[in-house]
């Protein structure tokens, strides 16, 4: 397994952000892995998830959104976040044109990735994986944030905790039933941070991701 840190160019106006490529020796596919709203690419969860995915033969490109790179608390507006997702996807496609490429993200990162793919489909992106889709703010159930998912044309994997405070189980189930290319996997007792009492959720996330990739032929 190789890890390579570098600066990812977003655009001339936005500049560069930190990024790290995790490349397993037996890489079968690769994901862009976008972080959540509250913690960047080097959060323990993000690093351990990348390592666990690598053990399954899945490479990752983690990157910071510009606001995180600049140590700001407020997340980027969608146009800026989408530009970061696009830069990461193009970087992976340039480096590995013959490897199946998927978008993915934790919470905010997954939502920004799916918003961008709804607006701008890419032939080389084979699917998207949500490590906890943030369907609604905590305590304010709703499905408005899922409206764009009907415009996503690639297969989608939703890895969701049954105690996720940002996606109540009945609502995320309802959303996925209306998406013909969606697969919903329940992590019993997990919250939005994938905390499960007396259990580590990260190997489960990696294993379920690998199983889904095999099922869809990647």
Q: State residue 99's pLDDT score.
A: 98
Residues 36 and 193: their CA atoms lie apart, in Å, by 10
Q: What is the rounded average pLDDT of the residues 24-31?
A: 97
Write down the pLDDT at residue 123: 96
pLDDT tens by residue, 164-178: 999 999 999 999 999
Cα of 119 vs its chain's centroid, Å = 17
The proportion of the chain whose per-residue pLDDT surpasses 90, expressed as a percent, equals 98
Nearest by Cα to 59 from 40, 36, 33, 88: 33
Instruction: Please enumerate in sequence order all residues whose Cβ is within 8 A of that of 203, keeping only pairs 6 or more positions apart, or say none.
Output: 52
Q: What's the whole-model pTM score?
A: 0.96
Instruction: Check whether 116 has a pLDDT greater than 80.
Output: yes
The predicted pLDDT at position 206 comes to: 99
Instruction: For the chain, list the domains and their CATH numbers.
Output: 2-215 (3.40.50.1820)
Q: What is the pLDDT of residue 39?
A: 95
pLDDT, tens digit (0-9, with 9 covering 90-100), for 136-155: 999 999 999 999 999 999 99
Which one-letter DSSP state was computed for residue 179?
Answer: -
pLDDT in tens, 183-201: 999 999 999 999 999 899 9
Say yes or no to pLDDT of 218 above 70: no
Give residue 82's pLDDT: 99
pLDDT at 1: 86
pLDDT at 29: 98
Q: Per residue in 69-109, pLDDT tens?
A: 999 999 999 999 999 999 999 999 999 999 999 999 999 99
pLDDT for the residue numbered 50: 98
* Average pLDDT of the residues in 125-129: 98
The rounded distance, in Å, linking the Cα atoms of 112 and 33 is 11
Phi, psi of 23 (to 5 degrees): -120, 105
């Amino acid at each position: 397994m190789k890890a390579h840190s570098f600066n990812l160019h977003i655009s001339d106006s936005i500049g560069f952000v930190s990024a790290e490529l995790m490349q397993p020796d037996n890489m079968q596919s690769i994901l862009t892995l976008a972080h959540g709203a509250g913690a960047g690419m080097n959060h323990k969860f993000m690093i351990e998830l990348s390592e666990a995915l690598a053990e399954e033969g899945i490479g990752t490109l983690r990157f910071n959104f510009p606001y995180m790179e600049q140590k700001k608390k407020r997340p980027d507006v969608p146009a800026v976040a989408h530009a970061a997702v696009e830069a990461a996807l193009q970087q992976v496609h340039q480096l590995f044109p013959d490897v199946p490429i998927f978008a993915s993200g934790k919470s905010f990162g997954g939502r920004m990735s799916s918003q961008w793919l709804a607006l701008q489909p890419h032939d080389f992106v084979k699917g998207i994986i949500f490590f906890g889709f943030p369907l609604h703010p905590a305590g304010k159930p709703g499905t408005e944030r899922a409206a764009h998912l009907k415009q996503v044309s690639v297969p989608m994997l939703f890895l969701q905790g049954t105690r996720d405070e940002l996606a109540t189980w009945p609502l995320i189930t309802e959303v996925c039933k209306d998406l013909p290319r969606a697969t919903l996997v329940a992590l019993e007792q997990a919250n939005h941070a994938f905390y499960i009492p007396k259990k580590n959720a990260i190997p489960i996330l990696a294993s379920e991701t690998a199983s889904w990739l095999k099922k869809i032929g990647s």
